[in-house]
A and B are shown apart, each in its own frame.
Chain A
Amino acid sequence: MDNLYTFPSMDPQALRDLKKSIDSSFLEFSRSYGEAIEIFFEPLLLTLVWLEKLLIESPWPITILVLTGLAWITSRSWLATLFSATAFLIIGYLGMWPDTMATLAIISVATLLCIVFGIPVGIWISHSQRAKFVITPILDVMQTIPSFVYLIPVVMLLGIGKVPGLIAVGIYATPPIIRLTNLGIESVSNDVLEAADAMGASRLQKLLDVQLPLALPSIFAGVNQTIMMSLSMVVIASMIGVKGLGLPVLRAISNQYLALGLMNGLAIVALAIIFDRIAQLYGKRLQSYKETIQNE
């Protein structure tokens, strides 16, 4: 009868041993491979450091000019460009310029990482049922596991710093781009693929000339989501040593500084809005071939 009220759990000693052995074997692993992994990620670190330095140390008017210029080129919208410029000016005036630039740097590199890794995987699972069968559940886990939990092995492996932060952001933000690349490719209509086949297109030609161009709007929506998700990781990433807007927010939480938290939080929001608007406008431009000409 007793067994119904207390769960027949594992012997506490055995459980403790199990956990200990997992920990120690992972520690073993990180001791022997940690350095190799660090070397592997060295280029990533260098890119991040270079970009961060560039954004922070360049004269601010030039940085703003370049950033708003980029906003204009991608969105072709005066409104979005004006909003970006104003937001950056206010952020700078409120003393958050260096932190914002640091965050911009890590978001950019993290997004690049997600794209470089995510698009090929997305293509791969569109072409292989078996790969899809294996990778989809992994994506589910990546997206649902609480981010604090996978910070632990990352920190054990690489310690505290920029690279582990980047990897944490990457793990969290890659799934949408994989999924949406896959979705985009799979929703290309069979008619069009059949036409390409009938003209003797090879698999690669079909991918490059038909599937990817038609999947581009969807891939782009994935990039947008990836950016949003990496922005939302900024605060958590700052817990493991990533510089930027997350750090003051963290400080504000522990010291109950309302204004500090709010300002930096709003700066993150401003970045999110800028990225989102610009990405959406760019995505729309990618689909301009769908618009029919009026008055004809």
Chain B
Amino acid sequence: MSNIKISVKNLYKIFGDNPSEMIEHLEAGYTKESLLKEFGHVLGLRKINMDILQSDTQVIMGLSGSGKSTLVRHFNRLITPTTGDIIIDDENIIKKTDLEIRNMRRHKISMVFQNFALFPHRTVSQNIAYGLITQGLEQGKINSKIDKWIDKVGLNGFEDHYPSQLSGGMQQRVGLARALATDGEIILMDEPFSALDPLIREEMQEVLLKLQKDIQKTIIFITHDLDEALKLGDSIAILNNGEIVQKGSPQNIILRPINNYVAKFTKNINRSRVIQVSSIMDDDLKVNGPTIDGNMLIENALEVLSEKGSLTGIVTHNSKPIGSVNLYKLIKVINQPALIK
């Protein structure tokens, strides 16, 4: 399972006239702010290192301007880094020629955009077909793929509509189908659902989750909504001023934010609904009480304990005991820890 699909190594991106000369200033300790002030260059990304696993959904979070879009556009080389490497399936995509990059975009990596970026002059079907046309597929195959994806994303009946005739949610279904139709292994999603109403957003998250169950793509998903990140992400990386400040499992980020910037992201969530029992259990196996599955959320575990009238419970994994929890601990975890001073 833990195949590394994408590996980012020492990636820097600086915007300006002499970007490569700025690297040494950064090494010498300049920050995004001081680099802009003294040298007039904008720091986009700084020393990014990360591995993304095959078939995982890697979420990237961060405040506006933290470099999320800049980072994600490196994976399909819409942006070329100042220095650094990106290895996808043992190939360094920074070294690829223009033609190789075009082929990679046609066959391997596709992208979904925040503002949908549909072709306004093409119908729904024609939008979905575009990636297949650049692949050079024959019309018969294109048609059968269009039908398949129209069906999968629930756009039946809208085939001949133009994007302007669709609601935002419907438009992003087209964006999703357009990206998935090419059968690439990697999907880049730059805040794909941010422009949608909360209800539609949840609906789209469900669509994506359901699809991902059978397509098993490697997804890089950008969002600034932690609920969305928790729902979709296998792993989360948090960017600030072009740097990764913390990365890891969603549980880890919530339970152990490395600094206030990260803690602020996690502040407003309902912790009892996202933290799993296994991530906060004790090792002590010598307790009595009902069994609780390790993947159970705190909220549900509390219910089990109170139903049985027990202060403690045994945490299991595949029905084997692996630890224990007690009521006091569960309640303590629900309470927001004080921000780091």
Contact = CB atoms under 8 A, between A and B. Distances in A.
Interface of A: 191-192, 194-202, 205, 209-210, 213-214, 289-293, 296
A289 B113 contact: no
Nearest to A288: B162
A194 B106 contact: no
B121 A289 contact: yes
B121 A214 contact: yes
Contacts of B135: 200
B182 interface: yes
Contact of B117 (A192, A205, A296): A192
A200 B188 CA distance: 14
Given A199-B105, A210-B119, A290-B120, A194 B134 contact: no
Interface of B: 76, 78, 102-107, 109-111, 113, 115, 117-121, 130-131, 133-135, 161-162, 164-165, 178, 182, 188
13 contacts: A192-B118, A194-B113, A198-B110, A198-B188, A199-B105, A199-B130, A199-B134, A200-B103, A200-B104, A289-B120, A289-B164, A291-B165, A296-B165
B164 A290 contact: yes
Contacts of A198: 76, 78, 105, 109-111, 188
A205 B78 contact: no
Contacts of B110: 198-199
A212 B294 CA distance: 58
B121 A213 contact: yes
Nearest to B163: A289
Given A200-B106, A289-B164, A296-B165, A195 B120 contact: no
Interface of A is mostly: helix
Nearest to B104: A200
Given A290-B120, A290-B162, 19 more contacts: A191-B115, A192-B120, A194-B78, A195-B117, A196-B130, A198-B78, A198-B188, A199-B106, A199-B110, A200-B102, A200-B104, A201-B134, A205-B134, A213-B121, A214-B120, A289-B164, A291-B164, A293-B161, A293-B165
A192 B119 contact: yes
A115 B96 CA distance: 39
A165 to B, nearest CB: 38
A289 B121 CA distance: 6
Contact of A191 (B117, B178, B188): B117
Contacts of B165: 291-293, 296
B102 A202 contact: yes
A296 B109 CA distance: 35
B106 A195 contact: no
A200 B105 contact: yes
B97 to A, nearest CB: 13
Nearest to B126: A209
B117 A289 contact: no
Contacts of B119: 192, 195-196, 209-210
A35 to B, nearest CB: 47
Given A200-B105, A200-B134, A195 B164 contact: no
B161 A199 contact: no
Contacts of B113: 191, 194-195
B130 A209 contact: yes
Contacts of A214: 120-121
A201 B121 CA distance: 16
Contacts of A205: 134
A213 B165 CA distance: 19
Contacts of A213: 121
B116 to A, nearest CB: 8
A266 to B, nearest CB: 39
Contacts of A196: 119, 130
A214 B121 CA distance: 7
Nearest to A290: B164
A199 B127 CA distance: 11
The 8 closest A-B pairs by CB, nearest first: A200-B106, A200-B105, A195-B117, A191-B117, A198-B111, A289-B162, A199-B131, A200-B102
A200 B131 contact: yes
Contacts of B178: 199
A204 to B, nearest CB: 11
Nearest to B132: A199
Nearest to A213: B121
A197 B78 contact: yes
B7 to A, nearest CB: 21
A207 to B, nearest CB: 13
Contacts of A292: 164-165
A203 to B, nearest CB: 10
Contacts of A289: 120-121, 162, 164
Contacts of A194: 78, 113, 117
B173 to A, nearest CB: 15
Nearest to B175: A195
A261 B106 CA distance: 63
B192 to A, nearest CB: 13
A292 B109 CA distance: 32
A195 B179 CA distance: 10
A205 B76 CA distance: 18
Contacts of A195: 111, 113, 117-119
A199 B120 contact: no
B121 to A, nearest CB: 5
Contacts of B117: 191-192, 194-195
